[in-house]
Amino acid sequence: MRSRVLVIVLVLSPACLFPDLSGLGGDGGTSDAPADSPDATPPVCDPSKPFSSIKPIAELNDSDSQYKATLTADELEIWWASTQQTDAGSLHTIWHASRTSIAATFTNKTLEATISQGVVDPAVTDDGLSLFYSKFGSIGDWDLFEAKRAARTDSFGVGFQLPSSIQSATAETAPFVAFDGSLWFSSQRSGGNHLWRAGVADGGGFSAPAHVTSLDSPSTEEGVVLTHDGLWAYVASDRSDLANAGSYDTFLTHRSSPTTDDFVQPINVTELNSAQYDRANWISWDNCRLYFESERNGLGNDDLFVATKTP
């Protein structure tokens, strides 16, 4: 996990031309849910097409760093991490807000008070009943935790550390819950910081994590976001071999099957990236809205943004 230190930086204009993605293949994304399932509505935006609008989520941003946004499937609830620089050091907390529709602004900004301080990188399940995050634990330095609630009208309970079979003696950060319930995260266990996946185990819980080598780069990966069909992945990396614009950029890759195929060589999503730090956080089920964090404000702190495309 990168250190979040307040610095003053200059913002350069990001490139805005989206490269040809025809080589990635794919059909633009369709749902693999049963026809009678509420999940059966196919995505309406093609992941291979560029985002046309990028806007800050102004009602959530302030002078502290706001990062790692995560939403329920209906996009009416959002959580994010905040880091405040104090005289005693960095204060890490998780916050929550809600809204009445996707077009509305978020309100009711509140601290997740039952989840202790020192936590980063929240990731909520689609139903909003489990919240994963990273904090200093008893196995490595940054370990993975989970907090639960019985209903969306309830508060989350005190979080608990995931089993040792998920953790390592190094750092586990940036969890993301995928379409099939699997848990993806960044880990330093293989040397460097790369992406790992823990599938859903028989009887509940997670199986032992596996290294997702097809998403590796010569450098560092700080998180992944998968589309709901599992065919497309947005990866945050500081790799320098794919025309990166800043310290960390968002890259896009594709696979033909979520169960049998590896991801292909990614491309730089140039319209999302700035000359500063950029990391994808969460993608809507219809692939039309990508929530991400960026330091492009020039003040050295992260803000939350949403990138939008139309069908």
pLDDT in tens, 191-241: 889 999 999 999 889 999 999 999 999 899 999 999 999 999 999 999 988
pLDDT of residue 7: 35
Q: What's the pLDDT score for residue 87?
A: 82
pLDDT tens-digit series, residues 70-120: 999 999 999 999 999 888 888 999 999 999 999 999 999 999 989 878 999
Reported confidence tier of residue 300, pLDDT bands at 50, 70, 90: confident
Q: What are the two backbone dihedrals, phi and then psi, of residue 230, each rounded to the nearest 5 degrees?
A: 80, 10
Q: What is the percent of the chain where pLDDT is above 90?
A: 75
3-state secondary structure of 184: strand
Check: CB of residue 169 under 8 Å from CB of residue 130. no
Domains in the chain: ranges and CATH: 22-308 (2.120.10.30)
**pLDDT tens digits along 112-157:** 989 878 999 999 999 999 999 999 999 988 999 999 999 999 999 9
Confidence grade of residue 245 (pLDDT, cut at 50, 70, 90): confident
- Three-point CA angle 80, 276, 224, nearest 5°: 50
* Whether 178 contacts 184, CB under 8 Å: yes
Higher local confidence (pLDDT), 17 or 184: 184
Residue 264 has pLDDT above 90, yes or no: yes
pLDDT for the residue numbered 1: 54
Give one word for 298, left, alpha or beta, with left for phi > 0 and alpha for psi -120 to 50.
Answer: left
36 token code pair: 């009678």
Residues 292/271, Cβ–Cβ less than 8 Å: no
Query: pLDDT (tens digit, 9 = 90+) per residue, 2-59?
Result: 544 433 333 333 333 333 333 343 444 444 443 334 455 656 999 999 999 999 999 9
Neighbour-count burial for 16-43, b at 16+ CB within 10 Å, e otherwise? eebeebeebebebbebbeeeeeeeeebb
φ/ψ of residue 269, rounded to 5: -85, 80
pLDDT at 203: 87
CA distance linking residue 126 with residue 158, whole number of Å: 20
Which band of pLDDT confidence, cut at 50, 70 and 90, is reported for residue 298? Answer: confident
Q: 248: closest CA among 267, 283, 274?
A: 274
- Report the amino acid identity of residue 158: V
